[in-house]
Every structure is written in structure tokens, then in C-alpha cells.
Homo-oligomer: A and B are copies of this chain.
Amino acid sequence: MKARSPHTDEQHLTEQLGATGFRLTPQRQQVYDVLRHKRDHPTAEEVFIRAKHAMPEISMATVYNCLDALVKCGMARQVTVDRGATRYCPNMHEHGHCHCDACGKIFDVDIPHELAGLTLPAGFLARHFDVAVHGLCAACVAKKK
């Protein structure tokens, strides 16, 4: 997680948005800041609640719109580990998610390149791998004892 200067950050966001035909707006900046600030894979509703602290006027519809723009321009990813609300993640590296079924915590995990060795149906053109590991995190394993 390299620190980037705020200036470069904003510039990068503007570029990415711009390249996909979107503008940088205060709301989009704010939503992106929320994602970067606490990388715990929040749902749209959690993003909404956090964004409201700095920007009380923001609406839920705008949060959805902003998250959608961020996903489309390649600054965030949607994460689906369970039924229930979609979660968002600003980590754009190829990675998977480890989900604790007891407490709901989500951890990013690297996915091994061997995965590319999957035998796919003939002619299938793979573009993205979604890997979710379900189980119990260390804390919850300990609790069960």
C-alpha cells in the first residue's frame, strides 16, 4: 500500500474518470476518499454513512452513482462474498477475498498464478477471476473453543 501524495491521488482519479467520460465531482472525490480511508470493504450503505460525516447533503442515489463511476473507470472493484449487499474495494491488484462466515470480516488475499492453469471450456476467453475463500478467521476459531 504505497502512500501517494494527495495531489497525485486527485490527479489520478481525475484522469481515470476523465478517460471513461466522467467528471471529477466533490461527491466522487468524497466517496473515493471513504473507500481509501478504511479499506474494510464497506457496502454502499456504509459508504453513505461515512461520506455523510464530511458531506451531510450527499444522498444514497449519489453514493450508488459515484461507486458505479469509480468501478467503471477502474478505481474500485465490486466484491461479492455472500448474498447481501455488494461491497466495494479500492485495491485494484488482482486479488481474492477471504471471508469469515462468523464475524463477516473480509481480508484481501493474493491469488496464485496457478489459477491461470484452470482448464476452462474450449475457446473461453477469461477476463477476470473472482476468488472467495469462506471459513473462520483466527479470532473466531479461538472463540469457538
Residues of B contacting A115 with CB < 8 Å?
A: 112, 114-115, 131
> Is A91 an interface residue when CB atoms closer than 8 A count as contact?
no
Give the residue of B109, B122, B141 whose beta carbon is less than 8 angstroms from that of A118.
B109
Q: Which of A34-42, A59-67, A132-140 contacts B (4 or more CB under 8 A)?
A: A132-140
Interface on A for B, CB 8 Å cutoff?
Answer: 78, 80, 82-83, 86, 96, 98, 100-101, 107, 109-112, 114-115, 117-138, 141-142
Given contacts A80-B83, A123-B137, 14 further A-B contacts (CB under 8 A): A80-B80, A80-B82, A98-B126, A114-B115, A120-B133, A121-B137, A122-B138, A124-B135, A124-B137, A125-B136, A126-B133, A127-B135, A129-B131, A130-B132
